[in-house]
Structure 1
Amino acid sequence: TADIGRTMPGWPAWEAGIKPGDKIVKINNISNPDFEDIFISVALNNSPEGVSLEIEREGKTFDVNVVPRYDAAFGIQRIGIAPATTLEIHKIFAIEDSDSPAQNAELHLKDKILKVNGKTITTESDFREIEQANPGKELTLTVLRDNKEIDLKVTPSVVARWMIGLSCATTKIEGIKKESLAKSLGLKKGDEIVKVNIKDVTGFAGLVNIVNNSPDGKIILMIMRDSGAKLIVFTKTGEESVKEFFGGIIPHYGLKVDSTVEGFPAEKIGIKPGDTITAIGGENISEWEELLQIVTSNKDKEMEITWERNYERITKTIKPKKNEENAHGLIGIKFREKRIIRQYGLTGACMVGTQKTIVNVKRIYLTLQGFFSKRLSTKALGGPVLIAQASYESAKSGMGKLLYFLAIISINLAVLNILPIPVLDGGHLLFLGVEKIKGSPVSEKTLAIANYIGFAMIITLMIYATKNDIMRLFNI
């Protein structure tokens, strides 16, 4: 089984009502899948009905179909789930360019966190909630080390997000959670809320504001969907009912400004609700995610931003600002994923080995498809340095994990070796096929030229992959 530790709000698994703590006991025809099986099944899905999941929750099982969504950042289809973790520390890392609070507190790998400020924690979510809520405030961690409980003091780093202070949330519903209040009222994904109690609304902030300021009682929402306009009645019974209603909705983000934050750069240079952002940092943009990525990567550097207002284009200089007020805490640790060790006999091991080989061949196919379609960045390519790092991490997890990793490397090399590239075995097979079709061997001159080209391709690929390794190593 695959234990789910987290679902991403607005993603297909979240919409389907899948929760942290659920177990996936079957996906399509694969029983007891691991996350690798799930990753491949989701990525290769081409059925309009999506993937079929059998979920176990509190001892009971139920079936649910989930339609994957394409994730441009990863270049593949995903459903938005992450594996469950233990509370054993697996990795310690630095926060941005500063020291690691975890390292300064003398936390060790394999320490198991039991309590924070005397409060027992049982899941990673419990820990992250406390960690994020206490930036710059000292915490007492009770950890289990060598079968002994010890207390350690740690102060989470203050991590603030770079932002320009605007939101482009629309009233169109991007995602809606199954069994939520909004869903029970009849709202659907793709609906656009255009009026609240006869008042026009143009942005999500305006929608929330009108609902919050309305007296308790019936609130009439006018929505637009493909079939036309529809009225939906929401009965407000205090703040909790409003939180419950909006808690089941994820709005669509565009580039039309919904609201600005007082005191932040966007407001200071004159951007107003209703304006449409068209370019930033010298790049034309068409999606909200592009805006976020450019702002985050530029940090405190000045850049130009262009927006439209009443068919007029305005360009000004803007400099992102750290949102210190809403900063969160981070101590720099990663927990170990939950693992189930399975033992097989000779026959069972051969069957599982064959199944995993097929899964990894499919993964290679997905990767190559992503590169050639430009949906996956070539910056993800790794060379000898990345292989060495991954080998080291695998070795730390035991001989079994290392052997499994080496087997994956062998499968990768075997598949790449049969690609129709001169100098590789696949290239030789290609020329044998050509010889069979034309009835005579390919000329030595043609073979020599093809081999030079193939050799140049392989060397270029190796140099590029090694360059990526070096850039990752030095965070360039």
Structure 2
Amino acid sequence: MEVELSSLLLGTFTSKIINIAMVALGLGLVIFFHELGHFAVAKWCNVKVERFSIGFGPIIYSFKYGETEYALSIIPFGGYVKMLGQDDVDPSQLTSEEIALDPRSYSAKPVYQRMGIISAGVIMNIVTGMLFFAFAFRMGVESMPSVIGAAIPGMPAWESGIQPGDVIEEIDGKKTSSYMDIIRSSAFSDGDITMAGTHLDGQKFDIKITPDQTGTRPQIGTIPSNSLRIPVFQDPAQSVASKGTAAAKAEPGFLGGDTFKTIDGKAIKNYAELQRTFAAKSNQTLKIGVNRKGTPPTEIVEISVGNNPFRTLGLQMDIGPIESIQQGSPAERAGLKVGDKITHIDNQDVGQALNPLKLPNYFSGKVGETIPIVVKRQEAGSDPTEVNLNVVPIDNPAWLEHPYKTDTPLAVGSIGIAFHVIPTVLKVEEGSPAAKAGIKVNERIKKIKIMLPGKDTAADWNNIPEVTYEFDDKDKKMNWASAFWEMQVRPGWPVELTVSNKRQLREVKMTPWVNPNQEKGEQWSLPVRGIRLELLRETQKADSMGQALGMGVRYTSNSAKDIYLTLKSLFTGRVSPLELSGPVTIATVAYEVAHQGYSELLLFLGFLSVNLAVLNFLPIPVLDGGHMVFLCWEGITRKRPNEKVLAAATYVGMIFVLGLMLFVLYLDIFLRALS
């Protein structure tokens, strides 16, 4: 056993070293080919190249061949070709009459040759990017199909009626090729977008959606679909089932590579069906049939998996106003409006008799029945009034649409509403952890911290971190439902509450419980079992090298358009600068895609190469595009730029580029790596 474990760890370590080496080689090639373009055309134009460097700053290794010094510099975020008469650090060389007299200097060459030298790096990156893409598609590239895994409650897609399992086939009249088309169309749209496709039940839809503008980029609020396959992890510390869940206790256990085939003998075709079945049978023990990796497709292993009961503190909170209503839902047909606060359901008080967190279960258990609802409605310029309505729930399992983000409201899918839960205590369950901690009615929770249990580390829980929610009185959302869901993701973790009784604050600690007074068949249970699944992917593979080159050209064109649209959106404010990534993130992503395979790494390097080409050709001094602007000026006016103007512009460009580099490094290190 020790020998097997040592071999596994050695294999994992070797794999990591190989991935790091591949990333370093790939990133180095992108930079090398860019500088090689400048170098080759400069030599062709008989310009003296004094240094060819990969990287910036102090030189760590160099050698001289002929008249050129070839160097490797310490800062690996770029490179440069230093030619006689062209030096970004000393822009005066471009206007020096003495250097211009040397026939082999850059500044002595005609404008068209200098334009060729400057543009060669960009052209080389476009060509190599296209080749990277072509080789990737010849090998076969896995991409996420445009299948919806979930619509986030309260977001535009959810409000428009998008459901798990929906396939988006067209966006604004253009056919989709992957899930990235959904993200791209949302982020770069100037207004509404039209989506056409097929629902899980086979019905066609054609809807108009207005992307949400409140985040760092416009989005409609969808999540890509998972597959039915459990991932195979190289890291032995990674588990296929979340610790403390029913899946971790299943008999026999789940294994990496298992693929879901049946539940209770019924075939499961896709992830959306799996979700609905888990949610609809949340409190039942299920017989799950899987096909094991390496066995015939018809060979099924049955695994018994119990339910995951909700863990609570024994608190019933206040319900917030309705945040969102789905189009065409029972709630819309009944006359419910955004801003209504539900006070009574079936003549029962919401908050005292009915727990707001259990409303998804309450309505899903009364499908087809007419349910009387009383809401408090605030009309503009008038006092709140009570409105009596009737709603008829449809068949949609409870908690199927759970809080996916920290500010996601709680959805009641069977009637099509979403609301926040306010952390004001309206009832304390007898004998519960909250009751034992002395929490009283009308007290308010100001903060909840969900902490790792005992001596456990985040690594013991598949790197799930501790989490803290602070509830500000000025925040209308007051996301208790999101915090409550985070407790379920961390079963058995202790919590620390900061409680306010208007006079003072106090901190209390407790561990969530599963109410022992509930019968097993009546347990309030989660819509998930704790099984980790791979993202749904499909392979795009060219049948010939000619087809691969065609796909590479299209992918290069689309990538360049995406970059320009991103820049446009940054300048217009539609996309936040916080969406930018720096060298740390780029290296991290490169490592992750290298782990997925050579084709994924080639695809990433192709995108990086095109990205470098586009950004380098922006009209910013010290970049190739800035040099091209000055050359165009010289070509039109027949005069070299004024030395002072050129120097000032160059230093401004340097300050901008260095400032941008520091900004993206800050994002990488402090907003991503430490978050």
TM-score, normalized by length of structure 2?
0.52
Tell me by how many angstroms 1:35 deviates: 1.7
The reply to whether residue 405 of structure 1 matches residue 604 of structure 2 is yes
Displacement of 1:330? 2.0
| Structure 1 counterpart of 2:217, one-letter code | I
Aligned residue number for residue 18 of structure 2: none
Residue in structure 1 matching 2:532, options 332, 335, 339 = 332
Q: For residue 144 of structure 1, report the CA deviation from its aligned partner.
A: 6.6
Q: How does 1:159-308 map to 2 (within 5 A)?
A: 164=313, 166=315, 168=317, 170-194=319-343, 205=354, 219=372, 221-226=374-379, 229=385, 231-234=387-390, 247-257=415-425, 259-260=427-428, 262-279=430-447, 285=472, 286=475, 287-289=477-479, 292=482, 303=496, 305-307=498-500
Q: Distance in 1 between matches of 2:656 and 2:326?
A: 53
Corresponding letter in the other structure for 2:335: G
Aligned counterpart in structure 1 of residue 596 of structure 2, from 390, 393, 396: 393
Aligned counterparts of 1:315 and 1:141: Cα–Cα separation in 2 = 51
Ranges in structure 1 where 5+ consecutive residues have no aligned partner? none
Residue pair 1:115, 1:143 contacting (<8 A) in 2 also = no
Q: Secondary structure at the match of 2:164?
A: coil
Give 2:185's aligned residue.
41
Secondary structure of 2:605's aligned partner: helix
Tell me if the contact between 1:27 and 1:52 (Cα under 8 Å) persists in the aligned partners: yes
- Give SS of 2:298's match: strand
Classify 1:464/1:390 alpha carbon distance in 2 versus 1 (closer, same or farther; 3 Å). Answer: same
Alpha-carbon separation, structure 2, partners of 1:377 and 1:319: 40
Matched, 1:141 2:290: yes
* Contact 2:195–2:206 (8 Å) recurs in 1: yes
**Structure 2: which amino acid aligns with 1:330?**
G
CA distance in 2, matches of 1:159, 1:406: 43
The C-alpha deviation readout for 1:44-69, integer Å capped at 9, x for no partner, is 3453xx32222334665442122333
Deviations 1:151-181 (A, max 9, x none): 4466769978886554555252122233332
Contact 1:422/1:454 (CA < 8 Å) preserved in 2? no
Preserved contact between residue 322 and residue 417 of structure 2 (Cα < 8 Å)? yes
Name whichever of 355-364 and 373-382 sits farther off: 373-382
Deviations 1:226-255 (A, max 9, x none): 456473432789x999x9996422223344
Letter in structure 1 aligned against 2:561: I
In 2, Cα distance between equivalents of 1:428 and 1:203 = 71
> Compared with structure 1, are the counterparts of its residues 432 and 250 closer, same or farther at alpha carbon in structure 2 (3 Å cutoff)?
same
Equivalent residue number for residue 77 of structure 2: none
Q: Distance in 2 between matches of 1:412 and 1:320?
A: 51
263 and 78 in structure 1: CA distance in 2 versus 1, 3 angstrom threshold: farther
What per-residue deviation string (whole Å, max 9, x for no partner) do you get for residues 244-288 of structure 1? 996422223344445555555544444445444445569663353
Q: Secondary structure at the match of 1:76?
A: coil
3-state DSSP class of the match of 2:299? strand
- Amino acid corresponding to residue 338 of structure 2 in structure 1: K
The answer to whether residue 219 in structure 2 is matched with residue 78 in structure 1 is: yes
Shift in Å, 1:192: 2.8
Q: Is the 8 A contact 1:381 1:465 kept in 2?
A: yes
**Residues 97, 459 of structure 1: CA spacing in aligned structure 2 closer, same or farther, 3 A cutoff?**
farther
2:270: which partner in 1?
123
Secondary structure at the counterpart of residue 327 of structure 2: coil
Q: 1:170 to 1:301 in 2, by over 3 A?
A: closer
SS of corresponding position for 2:505: strand
- Classify the secondary structure of the residue corresponding to 2:195: strand
Matched to 1:305, the amino acid is: T
Question: CA 1:412/1:345 → structure 2, altered by over 3 Å: closer, same or farther?
Answer: closer
| Residue identity in the other structure for 1:332 | R
Q: Compute the TM-score of the two structures, normalised by the length of structure 1.
A: 0.69
Q: Deviations over 1:179-238 (max 9, x none)?
A: 3322211112333335679998678946889x99xxx9883634414456473432789x
Q: Which residue of 1 is the match for residue 206 of structure 2?
A: 63
1:305 Cα deviation after fit: 1.0
**How far, CA to CA, are the matches of 1:140 and 1:182 in structure 2?**
37
Which structure is higher in RCO with an 8 Å CA cutoff and minimum separation 6?
2
Change (3 A) 1:7 1:205: same
Give CA-to-partner distance per residue, 1:418-468, whole Å, 9 cap, x none.
568776546767999999999443586996797588558647855974798
Equivalents in 2 of 1:314, 1:62: separation in Å? Answer: 54
Query: Which has the larger Rg?
Result: 2
* 1:303, distance to aligned residue in structure 2 (A): 4.6
CA contact (8 A) 1:90 1:336 kept: no
Q: Call closer, same or farther: CA 1:139–1:460 in 2, change over 3 Å.
A: same
Partner of 1:3 in structure 2?
A: 147
Give the structure with the larger strand fraction.
Answer: 1
Give identity over the alignment, percent.
22
> Aligned runs of 1:449-468 on 2, under 5 Å?
451=654, 458=661, 465=668
Contact 1:140/1:152, CA 8 A, preserved across alignment = yes
Structure 1 residue aligned with 2:33: none
Alignment partner for residue 114 of structure 1, among 251, 261, 281? 261
